[in-house]
Structure 1
Amino acid sequence: MTSPPAREFVPVRIAILTVSDTRKLEDDVSGQTLSDRAAADGHLLSARKIVKDDIRAIRHIIRDWANRSDVDAIITTGGTGLTGNDVTIEAIRPLFEKEIEGFGPLFHIISFPKIGTSTIQSRATAGVMKGKYIFCLPGSPGACKDGWDGILRQQLDYRHKPCNFVEIMPRLEEHLKRGK
């Protein structure tokens, strides 16, 4: 019995948004960490920005990127904590058509051995909007490494089995075609 042929890698077009009142591109270690890891794994950077902790400003960028044909996935870093300025989740969660409910718990499982119970202060989450994946990670470089290395590297790799996010990308908007 022969095994099925190996799948070829499919690069994902990724936009990275850092949510911070203090960072600039030059000192955005978390955004750079995600950009570097995505590129090293063969993905394409479609856009990268920094935005202040402002619900309307965050939503504006997310909506813009969700409408772009050169973006498959959006990764945010920052604004997922519990302080008054942490508004990434409040800005983005209402935009989800579907939430990827296992993302946050899996992030906590990966984070716990490194930072212990402090992981409870993160509201990492993910969802789908307009056929695009949106992943919201905490703002620390360590959390970005955990999110990429522990979840996104595999789930954004078409070769990962038994299943991955890339193989279902073409079907994310099939609910829009049902009425036709």
Structure 2
Amino acid sequence: MSRIDETLEFMSVRIAVLTVSDTRGPDQDRSGDVLVERLQGAGHVLAARQILPDERGQIAGQLRAWCADPEIDVVISTGGTGLTGRDVTVEAHRDVYEKEIDAFGTVFTMISMQKIGTSAVQSRATGGVAGGTYLFALPGSPGACKDAWDDILAKQLDFRHRPCNFVEIFPRLDEDQRRK
């Protein structure tokens, strides 16, 4: 079963938070605030934070810029994962991914089912890797951000988490690039 190995030293991760919204400004970004509070509370570093409109090209461009930044290890976006015409965050993420973490969306749906029942099918949370950087797209509600952080990301972004975690394979995420 999963556990934290207290004999290992905690390693902080540098995380960028992107809120995708046509209507929210910094004062209304409750979901972004939840993510910042949780990641800093866990001992990680907020490397960058931005709000962008639901525009696929802008979102993908920001994701690519952060993936190219050696000071950012992980990008978490919130918003734009629904089913409406303006919800393009998932498509923008997939434009950038080199590899998709298929089980991330599945596990998020399982967790959401426990909280909101069949309404969980309306979310398209996703995760992937590009340029040695982890990318996660979460729904735009504070509750969904709490669930994703508390039940998935807090554990997987903790080097001490056993039997495995995302942090321990950071050095290998871009090994295919180094061989060329």
Superposed displacement of residue 122, structure 1 = 0.4
Distance in 1 separating the partners of 2:39 and 2:79:
18
Change (3 A) 1:70 1:154: same
Structure 1 unaligned residues grouped into runs of 5+:
none
Distance in 2 separating the partners of 1:132 and 1:60:
14
Superposed displacement of residue 178, structure 1 = 2.7
Alignment of 1:147 onto 2:112 = no
Change (3 A) 1:60 1:36: same
Alignment of 1:32 onto 2:33 = yes
Change (3 A) 1:57 1:105: same
SS of equivalent to 2:35: helix
Distance in 2 separating the partners of 1:89 and 1:154:
23
Matches within 5 A, 1:160-171: 160-171=161-172
Maintained 8 Å contact 2:60/2:95: no
**Residue of structure 2 in register with 1:94 after alignment:** 95
TM-score by length of 2: 0.95
Matches within 5 A, 1:23-172: 23-172=24-173
The aligned amino acid for 2:178 is: K
TM-score by length of 1: 0.95
RMSD: 1.1
Maintained 8 Å contact 2:97/2:129: yes
Superposed displacement of residue 5, structure 1 = 8.1
The aligned amino acid for 2:30 is: V
Distance in 2 separating the partners of 1:178 and 1:5:
35
Distance in 2 separating the partners of 1:60 and 1:97:
15
Residues 67-105 of structure 1, C-alpha deviations (whole Å, 9 max, x = no match): 111100000000000000100011111211110010000
Aligned length: 176
Maintained 8 Å contact 2:31/2:145: yes
Q: Give the percent of matched residue pairs that are identical in Structure 1 and Structure 2.
A: 56
Superposed displacement of residue 60, structure 1 = 1.4
Deviating above 6 A after TM superposition, structure 1's stretches of 4 or more consecutive aligned residues are none
Maintained 8 Å contact 2:96/2:130: yes
The aligned amino acid for 1:55 is: R
Structure 2 unaligned residues grouped into runs of 5+:
none
Maintained 8 Å contact 2:81/2:125: yes
Maintained 8 Å contact 2:6/2:160: no
